[in-house]
Amino acid sequence: MKLGRWGVGIWLMVLVAALGPVAFQAEAAGKRVALVIGNNLYRSIAPLRNAVADADAVAQALARAGFQVMALHDLDRAAMLKAVGDFKAGVAPGDEALFYYSGHGVQMGGVNYLLPVDIVSDSADQVKNDALGLQQLLDEMRRQQARFALAIIDACRDNPFQGKGRSMGGGRGLAATTPPSGQMILFSAGAGQEALDRLSEQDTHPHGLFTRVLLDEIDKPGVEIHTLLSGLRNRVAALAEGVHRDQMPALFDQMQGDFYFHPLADEAGRLGPDLEFWNRIKNSDDPQGYRQYLDRFPTGAFASLARVKAAQGGGASATHSRGRSYMVGQVVFEMVPIPGGRFIMGSDRDFPYEPHPVELAPFQMMRTEVTQGLWAAVMGDNPSRFKGNNLPVENVDWRQVQTFVTRLNTLTGLSFQLPSEAQWEFAARAGSATTWYWGNDARQTGDYAWYQDNSDEATHPVGLKKPNPWGLYDMSGNVAEWCLDAYHERYQGGVFGDDAPSDGSPWLKDGFKDWKVVRGGSFSDKDSSGHPNAMTSAARGSAPPQFKRENRGFRLVLSGE
């Protein structure tokens, strides 16, 4: 599986140039200006596919950060030199200036060059004459006395002149550089590494790994450039490791002073009304408040969650646990605190799942099943059969879920995981000891679950049915949910002679083949007697870890309160 961009790696360099140890504050008198160039359509060397799309996305991110942006595509030498000259002439002392280039680049004799679309490769001297020298550009930017200058160069790691000899490009990558005082340089991959264009064959994200993380980091409020780039490097490395590849952006730092794409003062002014309104209503039982939020902020940071709460009739009731909200990209999800305690797990009513005591520590569980919107924000794709951002993600196997967990943990800095089977049943029961968490009446199933009788053989948006007493939705029906445990046919005295853990931890040892536990039943379930027994609190299912279906998804937990 070739994960690099068109067989060549991508590098990205961030150079931050400051004229001295200045703290760059929001009240600076100078303007913010940016030139963004994306070159795809090379005439004599291999064309690129994503350079223009990457450049346009960066241009939009910079505009959100207050830059006046000039974005240009597919420039020949004359147009490229003119654009750079016009940009340089527009930079005044005290300005904050940013130059971004995405396209081909090479190094020759330790000097780095950016290539226009009409470059030809007849000789090294011709390339040097026709290309734009990176160091020359940076020197000219400094001479404009910009208070802050940032250059972002996104070019090919592999030599576009392969086969022309060592003098034509010098192999993979650009030359390592030692920045002068006041500069910071970041390559999207280390020496000899390939920057990933995709994380898998199913990854449909329009940008490469480094670029998608960069775009997310640029939008974060109140993050100083050193902290931003440190987080970026760690996120890229962890996501690459999740697909068994190496990509650690290389950092060369001589910068003095601070820089923020979104200073907190500016961001507070931009998000203040949105956040203030949300904080007033987020725990309300009145759906009208959520509708008013959507009327005023239809694309607000909390719009997705507001739609769910408006549809379900309000926020946390007196019997519900109030959740903690988290955001990945523009997707908000909630974790509900689950109190620790002791309960009797299992049932001898319908299955030989021996009742046994289990005592658990407190933990948190997702209020709903993982949605397709959250999956796409983390993974960059959507494998589900039934499409919709607020539908539960499905058609994912247990191993894919582990990759999702790794990436989500990298993005959030937290330690999510699948629930143990004991955690799942404890949370589903919510203090009950009845067949279902709503009681013993099968006729009420349709009030709480999507199952064979009411689902039309499809998934439905999360959070539309009644929750259990702890405020968890769809613990029965919609999609069955993967657990962390290996599957054992019995809790006690099984074929391996051991018993299920009594502390609620996942039972990982031995098990039936390598199968995993599945809980909760799905939209397609109903047993032969006409009762929804697959959705009882004690009902168990199992499947091989590589097995995927359109009726199987998951939710996650966090340890602690």
* CATH code, domain carrying 141: 3.40.50.1460
Return the H-helix or E-strand segment holding 111.
strand 111-114
Inside any domain, residue 258: no
State the chain's mean pLDDT as an integer: 80
If one counts every other C-beta atom within 10 angstroms of the C-beta of residue 234, the result is 15
User: What angle in degrees, to the nearest 10, is found between the helix axes of 303-312 and 287-296?
Assistant: 150
pLDDT at position 511 is 73
pLDDT at position 332 is 82
pLDDT at position 203 is 78
Which range has the worst mean pLDDT, 8-22, 28-42, 150-164? Answer: 8-22
The per-residue b/e assignment along 356-370, b for 16 or more CB within 10 angstroms, e otherwise, is eebebeebbbbbbbb
Dihedral sign from CA coordinates of 256, 261, 263, 266 = positive
Q: What's the mean pLDDT in 400-424? A: 91
Inside any domain, residue 64: yes
Inside any domain, residue 341: yes
User: Using 50, 70 and 90 to split pLDDT, how confident is the model at 320?
Assistant: very low
- The residue among 29 and 49 whose pLDDT is bigger is 49
pLDDT at position 81 is 93
Q: Do 98 and 123 share a domain, yes or no? A: yes
Inside any domain, residue 10: no
Last residue of a domain, one of 252, 281, 301: 252
Q: What's the mean pLDDT in 38-62? A: 90
Rounded to the nearest 5°, which phi and psi values hold at 212? -65, -35
* Residue 138 clears pLDDT 80, i.e. is over it: no
Tokens in use for 239?
Answer: 């996501």
Inside any domain, residue 20: no
Return the H-helix or E-strand segment holding 250.
strand 250-253
pLDDT at position 187 is 76
SS3 331: strand
Return the H-helix or E-strand segment holding 213.
helix 209-218
Q: Do 238 and 338 share a domain, yes or no? A: no
Nearby residues of 547 by Cβ (< 8 Å), 6 or more positions away: 397, 398
CA dihedral angle for residue 162, residue 168, residue 174, residue 177, rounded to 10 degrees: 160
CA dist., res. 320 & res. 300, Å (int): 25
Q: Do 287 and 362 share a domain, yes or no? A: no
Nearby residues of 471 by Cβ (< 8 Å), 6 or more positions away: 316, 317, 319, 320, 321, 322, 323, 336, 367
Tokens in use for 209?
Answer: 């790994």
User: Using 50, 70 and 90 to split pLDDT, how confident is the model at 180?
Assistant: low
Q: Which of 278, 411, 422, 287 is nearest to 360 (CA)?
A: 422
CA dist., res. 307 & res. 341, Å (int): 33
Last residue of a domain, one of 310, 345, 376: 310
CA dist., res. 275 & res. 325, Å (int): 12
pLDDT at position 17 is 42
Percent pLDDT > 90 in the chain is 31
- The residue among 239 and 298 whose pLDDT is bigger is 239
Q: What's the mean pLDDT in 281-302? A: 76
Taking only the tens place, the pLDDT of each residue in 441-479 is 888 989 999 999 999 999 999 988 899 999 999 999 999
* Residue 409 clears pLDDT 90, i.e. is over it: no
pLDDT at position 231 is 80
User: Using 50, 70 and 90 to split pLDDT, how confident is the model at 172?
Assistant: low
CA dist., res. 208 & res. 199, Å (int): 9
Residues constituting the chain: 561
Q: Do 405 and 292 share a domain, yes or no? A: no
- The residue among 413 and 29 whose pLDDT is bigger is 413
- The residue among 496 and 556 whose pLDDT is bigger is 556
Last residue of a domain, one of 231, 252, 273: 252
Q: Do 269 and 174 share a domain, yes or no? A: no
SS3 425: helix
Q: Which of 446, 463, 469, 468 is nearest to 313 (CA)?
A: 463
CATH code of 362's domain: 3.90.1580.10
Inside any domain, residue 474: yes
Inside any domain, residue 38: yes
User: Using 50, 70 and 90 to split pLDDT, how confident is the model at 312?
Assistant: low
Domain count along the chain: 3
Q: Which of 415, 423, 377, 383 is nearest to 399 (CA)?
A: 383
Q: Do 78 and 217 share a domain, yes or no? A: yes
Q: What's the mean pLDDT in 400-407? A: 92
Q: What's the mean pLDDT in 183-198? A: 72
CA dihedral angle for residue 50, residue 53, residue 56, residue 62, rounded to 10 degrees: -70
The H helix count followed by the E strand count for the chain is 13, 20
Q: Do 217 and 292 share a domain, yes or no? A: no
* Residue 393 clears pLDDT 90, i.e. is over it: yes
Q: Do 335 and 238 share a domain, yes or no? A: no
Q: Work out whether strand 250-253 and strand 184-187 pair parallel, antiparallel, or are unpaired.
A: antiparallel
Q: What's the mean pLDDT in 124-145? A: 83
Q: Do 156 and 229 share a domain, yes or no? A: yes
User: Using 50, 70 and 90 to split pLDDT, how confident is the model at 352?
Assistant: low
Q: Do 124 and 42 share a domain, yes or no? A: yes
Q: What's the mean pLDDT in 30-59? A: 90
Q: Which of 50, 44, 41 is nearest to 9 (CA)?
A: 50
Taking only the tens place, the pLDDT of each residue in 98-112 is 888 888 888 788 788
Inside any domain, residue 5: no
Nearby residues of 269 by Cβ (< 8 Å), 6 or more positions away: none
Q: Do 183 and 273 share a domain, yes or no? A: no
What is the model's pTM?
Answer: 0.50
- The residue among 159 and 424 whose pLDDT is bigger is 424
Nearby residues of 238 by Cβ (< 8 Å), 6 or more positions away: 406, 407, 410
258 exposure class (CB count in 10 Å sphere: 0-12, 13-18, 19+): middle
SS3 501: coil
Range with the largest mean pLDDT of 133-142, 173-182, 515-524: 515-524
Q: Do 66 and 97 share a domain, yes or no? A: yes
Residue 371 structural domain:
322-556
Return the H-helix or E-strand segment holding 54.
helix 51-64
* Residue 7 clears pLDDT 60, i.e. is over it: no
Rounded to the nearest 5°, which phi and psi values hold at 408? -60, -40
* Residue 95 clears pLDDT 60, i.e. is over it: yes
User: Using 50, 70 and 90 to split pLDDT, how confident is the model at 546?
Assistant: very high
